[in-house]
Amino acid sequence: MPGNANMVTVWEKDPSSGRTRQAPKPDVNKLPLGFYFPPPEPPVSDDTDSEDFRYWVAAEALRRGADFWTPCLAPPPKWAPGNTLQVRPDTIYDDLNSDYDGAVLTFSHGSAPANPGLVVYAGATPDILCHELGHAVLHALNINLWPPGGTELEAFKESFGDMSAILCALQVSEFRDTLLAETQAAGNFWISSSLSRVAEQFGKVVRAVAPEDADKDCLRNAWNHHNYEAPATIANRQGPDVLTVSSHSFSRVFTGAFYEAFAAMFTARAANKATRSLELQIASTHMRDILAASVVNAQRRDDFFAHVAARMVDASAGKDASYPAIFTDVFTRRSILPGAIA
């Protein structure tokens, strides 16, 4: 029996780390941005292999993510479908998938045929929970972007999900400490880390089933060097470990630029300061606000990456005078924005 009925045990970030933490028991029904989980509410559990534990991982991650994004939504904050979003925390065996269909968040679980013993649960993977939540947040921020669009708009939606996963993870103080120890040991924040590797455990199983659908070390690594290439020029490209026009693959271009800019924002903020964890959290809320401001009135365009990137440069000036140069440098070097005319 857990010792404190007001606390739940959840993963610190990815299940593959094995690290858990205690969190206040979340109220999924709380408004604004409520959730509806099918009853009954299970008891809390410290058994990481149990359905009850997985329920509370989903509840805590979605509550934390919704609370994080709430300040960006025009008052009164609401989901696109209304005050409450339906959640199916675990459905359909052997479907390595998760989904936001405009009204419901759905999570499945599965395994690779070569390793049936390792069953991975999308709905108990905080990165995937906060990725799908990101789809719902983007829908709420700008409903005009919701209908399917071109390669760049669809890839941006996937990038927004991964950016949401990364920013929501940074709201966990225990995880910030883990990450800071990891990056300080490396002497650099801009490395492949437990933050940049989105959905490590889930990605490992996806990769075993479909090598072209996951990076080598996780589902999608935000620490990457994928530069922008016009979708028309790579339309026929396919295979693992290359940039293709599928929305998940192409999303890595935008996510990589976001992550490189974020690393520079944090590194500049944290220089010579003892309060690195606090600076990391501040940088994450700045990035959240810059992203949200950039998509709120964004238009449906074929050059959607450049459109949003230019808006991020502008929005960043309102947060810190040093930010526009950081965003401009990263977006031009990665060919998302055209370079300055010499």
Residues that bind Zn ion (CB under 5 A): 158, 161
| Distance between CA atoms of residues 224 and 28, nearest Å | 35
DSSP 8-state symbol, 303:
T
Q: Which is nearer to Zn ion, 158 or 200 (CB)?
A: 158
Sign of the CA dihedral with 158 first, then 162, 163, and 165 last: positive
Q: Which residues contact 239 (CB under 8 A, 6 or more apart)?
A: 212
Shortest CB 134 distance to Zn ion, Å: 8
Shortest CB 130 distance to Zn ion, Å: 11
Shortest CB 92 distance to Zn ion, Å: 17
Shortest CB 304 distance to Zn ion, Å: 16
- The rounded radius of gyration (Å) of the Cα atoms in the chain is 19
CB 280 within 8 A of CB 265: no
Shortest CB 174 distance to Zn ion, Å: 26
DSSP 54-119: HHHHHHHHHHHHHHHHGGGSPSSP-BTTBSEEEEEEEEEET---EEE-SSEEEEEEEEETTEEEEE
Position with the least CB separation from Zn ion = 161
| Distance between CA atoms of residues 217 and 223, nearest Å | 11
Q: Which is nearer to Zn ion, 197 or 276 (CB)?
A: 197
Shortest CB 238 distance to Zn ion, Å: 20
CB 335 within 8 A of CB 228: yes
Q: Which is nearer to Zn ion, 159 or 284 (CB)?
A: 159
Q: Which is nearer to Zn ion, 44 or 130 (CB)?
A: 130
Q: Which is nearer to Zn ion, 126 or 161 (CB)?
A: 161
Matching residue, tokens 């919704």: 66
Distance of CA 328 to the CA centre of its chain: 22
Q: Which is nearer to Zn ion, 158 or 215 (CB)?
A: 158
| Distance between CA atoms of residues 43 and 52, nearest Å | 6
Shortest CB 248 distance to Zn ion, Å: 7
Shortest CB 132 distance to Zn ion, Å: 6
CB 57 within 8 A of CB 40: no
CA-based nearest residue to 295, from 204, 126, 160? 160
Residue type, 120: V
Q: Which is nearer to Zn ion, 15 or 161 (CB)?
A: 161
Q: Which is nearer to Zn ion, 65 or 161 (CB)?
A: 161
